[in-house]
Amino acid sequence: MAEEPSSQLFGKYELLEKIGAGGMAEIYRARSHGVEGFEKILCVKRILPGYSKNRAFIDMLIAEAKLSSLMQHGNVVQIFDLGAQGNQFYIVMEFVDGCDLLQLLTVCAKRKERIPTELALYIIGEVAKGLAYAHAATDRQGRLLNIIHRDVSPSNVLLSFEGDVKVVDFGVARADLEAQEKKDTKGSALKGKLGYMSPELVTGGDIDHRSDIFALGIILWEALTLRRLFLGKTDIQTLINIRDVKIDKKFAKHSYVPEGIQAIVRRALAKSVDDRFQTATDMHEAILDYLFENRVRVSARKLSTYIKERIPQRAPPPESSLDPEALAPAASASEPVESASQPVEPAPQPVESASQPVEPAPQPVDSAPQPVESAPQPVEPAPQPVESEHLQPAPDDDVGYHEELEDPTPVDDAVAIRAAAAEAPASPPAAVLPPGFDYERATFKVRNDLGEVFGPIAYHNFRSLIESRAITFREQISVDEGGWLRLGDLKIPGLDPRHLEDEPEQPLYEGPISRIRTPQLLYELAISRVIGKLKMTSGSTLKEIYFQGGVPVHINSNIKSELLANFMLNKNLIRPAQLNAALDMVKDKGGRLGAALVGLGLLKPHDLFRVVEFQFRQRFLQLFSWEAGWYEFLEGYPPPGDVVPINDGTVQLIAAGIRTQFDMGALREVFDDYLDHVLVLQQNPHVTHHNLRFNSRELRIFTYLETGQTLRAALQQHGTTPEDQLSILQVILTLHQTDLVSFRSPRGLGRPTA
């Protein structure tokens, strides 16, 4: 549908209608004019004015045009021109009248039908032909370019009403020769969409053209099933799913996919690049062999008929209303260039809770799914006449194309805060928010009991923060700069009310927090191999630590500085301007912050793992600094978001917490009454000192400790410097809290308490 009723002149092109817009560029169906009434329908992709001074985006557009101009193939979109109008760079490309594969998948899901198997194979085979050509492309001197597309995804596969299949958008592709010329062996920083990456791209390994083959295998699976293959509930989970490539359960759930096709998908999705199809041509030939062996004939004509029956055709362009003189071609018009690439904006990525996005469930027309909106019910594709013996209803526990992605709703939100500050009085909601108030268009600020204000933030981020416990029900909220309300008094449509009320359940056990109780408690949970949620509160500060088998795997925190964006700024991992660019992308396209940071090249996919692990460790270790508070353990709660793949277990984190959070003052307070007690080293069936991963100084101190010596003697003998004395006390406290050392006094064994 046209967004602009009348055409406008842009350089030598007449812009007819906007057909796509993203965070950095907009795309128009356009018309060029020549002598004697000649005209041609084209596509113009231009950088938005706000990014016209950003050299990185301009370089990306120029690289796309230059690279694509070296290719000319029926399955690759052609580039005709690269230019600048004022300070706006643009490229002009072939207009493909039809839809992209993402739109077709979405329409089919809405119609509750799967794409006929032979048509899905035909589309993927044609894409493979285009990729095979690109992978083997050479420059004008005959040198191999070694092109890797790196963004093979449904939105970059264009389908015309005539049955043509074309690969588009080489804007993030890498060509070795270009990288060498720029002395940049890493090529473009952009890495495509999270849900269509390869294991080697996710883990930071070397990539080649076989990374594109892996992505094409994902698309084949999704075209056959209308279900997302690797998309997780968060960006990190998506990356983990791709890294591990565990697909056997997927095949078991979609047993209607014929064995021969399963074999093609499995080979394309092999974790090792050496086990995959070695070229896109090999994959295309495997598809042709399957069709031949099953006596199935498919053609562009059959695809054309199928698309025309499902996708509304575009009205012919109107007669030009612009001045004919203005449309005359310039005398010095640049010569058209050959070859590939056209638009249609990429599908948005899931939004971050530290929790993606990777890739969101695609939406029908201009799709801008938001992260934490309540999702439509999964629409199961109905069996088709084609190969109906293989088609059965798909399971409803994986992600389809006609549903937004929503994090699972945790059972509760609130906190029984034993040491909480007094609640501020809440204003009546009706005084600020009238009935029918449109929350989605509002902005929000948050104020804690200390008067600290966080925001403004947009609605979808606001909901995401509530559901990840970064905003608690006791904090106060200002909506559109209005009066302050308690969060629990808001009636937000679609939000589980349990996020806005106090904890109804009795904990399995609970008690007060102190500096020395925290490591004891964590050790007890570790050796008990618990599954559940530890809620820790200190004043208005809340943290929820989810355990699986006694190991912490997910942490919610309402400390705003621990949110991913603030955390990265505080640790100088990104600059404010970079964060703003990522937030702009999230605002324009939807999706999660982690996916936006990867998409803009500010983080590599494998670095996202490291950042989230670093954030997780800092959130956890900060608990060891709490002087007072209250804890509750609720059994059986599964983690609501990312299961963070950390390398340390609970006892290693205890050692790190004592090492980083206990200074000499805190340790003296613990040990002053125990200086003349005798140290007793002891065996522990659960833990040895090796499990604690002591550093070299700590390990040396451990070897000095002997049963029978007093703590004072150990300090005098081995604590020759303040640093050594600090390490001795940290090591002894760690050993004591993990039952590897005890104290003997005239009254028997004792345990330090606080």
From 315, 340, 356, give the residue that closes a domain: 315
Residues 52, 87 contacting (CB under 8 angstroms): yes
> What is the distance between the alpha carbons of residues 574 and 9, in angstroms, rounded to a whole number?
39
Confidence label for 390 from pLDDT (cuts 50, 70 and 90): very low
Final residue of a domain: which of 465, 493, 521? 493
Strand order through the sheet with 79-85: 8-10, 13-21, 25-33, 39-47, 88-94, 79-85
Question: 169 in a domain, yes or no?
Answer: yes
DSSP 400: B
At 225, the amino acid letter reads T
Report the percent of the chain where pLDDT is more than 90. 38
Domain annotation covers residue 419: no
**Residue 365 scores a pLDDT above 50:** no
The pTM of the whole model exceeds 0.75: no
Q: Is 519 a member of any domain?
A: no
What is the per-residue pLDDT for 319? Answer: 65
Q: Is residue 63 part of a domain?
A: yes
pLDDT range class, residue 458, cuts 50, 70, 90: confident
Chain segment 247-274, per-residue pLDDT in tens: 998 999 999 999 999 999 999 999 999 9
**CATH at residue 46:** 1.10.510.10
Cis omega (within 30 of 0) for bond into 116: no
- Does residue 439 lie in a domain region? yes
Give me the domain span that covers residue 180: 8-315
Q: Decide: helix, strand or coil at residue 89.
A: strand
- Separation CA 531–CA 550 (nearest Å): 7
Q: What is the pLDDT of residues 500-521, one digit of tens each?
A: 666 556 888 899 999 999 999 9
For residue 484, give the CATH number of its domain.
3.30.1490.40
Tell me how far apart the alpha carbons of residues 197 and 207 are, in angstroms, rounded to a whole number.
11
Question: What is the tens place of the pLDDT at every residue in 118-152?
Answer: 999 999 999 999 999 999 988 888 888 888 988 89
Please check whether residues 96 and 223 belong to one and the same domain. Answer: yes
The more confident residue out of 397 and 603 is 603
Residue 242, pLDDT score: 92
Percent pLDDT > 70 in the chain is 75
| Cα–Cα distance for residue pair 498/467, rounded to 1 Å | 10
User: Is 350 contained in some domain?
Assistant: no
pLDDT of residue 245: 93
Q: Beta-strand (E) ranges in 248-364?
A: none
What element of type H or E holds 593? helix 593-599
Tally of domains within the chain: 3
What are the tokens at 694? 């002591």
| Alpha carbon distance 228, 432 (integer Å) | 41
Same domain, 138 and 262: yes
Q: Is residue 78 part of a domain?
A: yes
Task: Report the pLDDT value the prediction gives residue 85, as an integer from 0 to 100.
Answer: 84
DSSP 660-684: HH--HHHHHHHHGGGTTSEEEE---
Final residue of a structural domain among 282, 315, 348 = 315
pLDDT digits (tens, 9 = 90+) for 82-112: 888 887 888 898 999 999 999 999 999 999 8
- N-terminal to C-terminal alpha carbon distance within the chain: 69
For residue 420, CA distances in Å to 309, 427, 504, 534 come to 62, 20, 17, 17
Residue 8 pLDDT: 84
Return the SS3 of 152.
Answer: coil
Evaluate whether residue 617 is within a structural domain.
Answer: no
- 333-342, 555-564, 569-578, 661-670: least confidently modelled range: 333-342
Across 674-693, average pLDDT: 91
